[in-house]
Amino acid sequence: MTTSAQAQVIPLHAPGREKPADVEAHAGEAPADAPVVAFPTRSAPAEEPPAPERDALSRFLGFLRHRLTGDYDVDEFGFDPELTDNLLLPPLRLLYEKYFRVTTHGAENLPADGGALIVCNHSGTVPLDAVMTAVAVHDETPGHRHLRMLGADLVFQTPLLGALARKTGQTLACTADAERLLCSGELVGVWPEGYKGIGKPFSARYRLQRFGRGGFVSAALRTRVPIIPCSIVGAEEIYPKIGDLKPLARLLGLPYFPVTPFFPLLGPLGAIPLPTKWHIEFGEPIRTDGFADEDLDDPMLVFSLTDQVRESIQTTLYRRLAHRRSAFKD
């Protein structure tokens, strides 16, 4: 008879297989809950754009809505402030801040409210100095005031440009319109040198031309508003005018047809302005409210104030140029 092999029995609690003491101590207790990890049931919301971007977007959407519904204001001169702020100022501000890198001085001389006449030197072959001054006034005044510029007849006779000028608040350079704007408490900008200023040759840069008959001074005297001299350095070099094609200018009905080192030689590329560094300085206001009524039409008073404004601008230009090391850096 063959004896079958017996299976080896290993006791559960044989030596070396004792339960740890802490396990025996907690044998009668309920097991501790395992930590619970919460899984998101939906994706986190996308980050909102920064506040300035949201404000710009909401303003633009509001502008489009007002255009579609016709719910916007235009004054008696055709000025559309909403169109100016949302459509025209942003690209001009890029030129102002990034291309010409304009530094503004004396912004505290601009009144926070009420009328004033800002008188500027004119230069640059193409009047970019006027629109850069408008950006400076808007961005440097606490209430973001608009500069109501007085323009020449040619501006308003040019198709599209004339309508655009009206939309941005410009009007004809005449005493009647200037007085109406000043009486309404507006900041009015005037460039008394006119075409003689912007069309002068490069060799005459920063030398002021004649200021006309002083019509701007008469408007300021009658409305009792201050005159603020404004000096612009940097605009003279954007299109160095070295010649004038007079026959072509007469054919096109222009006061001049400029020749620069790059235009018309390089065609459209020559029309790109040079990236000079600009300084716009607003001088101390010249008050006009201290004169008697009978003196307002005195030609000698008008001539004296005109000469005072001109001398103030010319002196500031020379002072700025004396401290300038380069037309492109500072």
pLDDT of residue 39: 47
SS3 label, residue 151: strand
Distance of CA 275 to the CA centre of its chain: 16
Could you give the CA distance from residue 36 to residue 49 in angstroms, rounded to a whole number? Answer: 34
pLDDT of residue 70: 75
CB 153 within 8 A of CB 172: yes
pLDDT of residue 280: 98
Counting residues of the chain whose pLDDT is more than 90, the rounded percentage is 70
Every domain of the chain and the residues it spans: 102-238+273-323
Mean of pLDDT over the chain: 86
Backbone angles phi, psi at 167, to 5 degrees: -65, -30
Distances (CA, A) of 58 to 51, 53, 73: 10, 9, 19
Sign of CA dihedral 116, 117, 120, 125: positive
Is residue 322 over pLDDT 60?
A: yes
Better pLDDT: 213 or 288: 288
Counting residues of the chain whose pLDDT is more than 70, the rounded percentage is 83
CB 59 within 8 A of CB 86: yes
Q: What is the DSSP string of 5-64?
A: PPPPP--TT-TT-PPPHHHHHTTTSPPPPPPPPPPPSSPPPPPPPPHHHHHHHHHHHHHH
Distances (CA, A) of 166 to 135, 148, 149, 183: 16, 10, 10, 19
Q: H or E element: which one contains 122? A: none
Beta strand 227-233 pairing with 279-282: antiparallel
**188-214 pLDDT, tens per residue?**
999 999 999 999 999 999 999 999 888
The pLDDT confidence band at residue 295, using thresholds 50, 70 and 90, is: confident
Alpha-helix residue ranges (DSSP H) falling in 253-298: none
CB 191 within 8 A of CB 178: no
CB 96 within 8 A of CB 135: yes
Smallest CA-to-CA distance from 117 within 232, 280, 233, 286 is with 286
**3-27 pLDDT, tens per residue?**
444 545 445 444 554 555 554 444 4
Could you give the CA distance from residue 177 to residue 199 in angstroms, rounded to a whole number? Answer: 25
CB 235 within 8 A of CB 102: no
Backbone angles phi, psi at 227, to 5 degrees: -105, 125
pLDDT of residue 62: 79
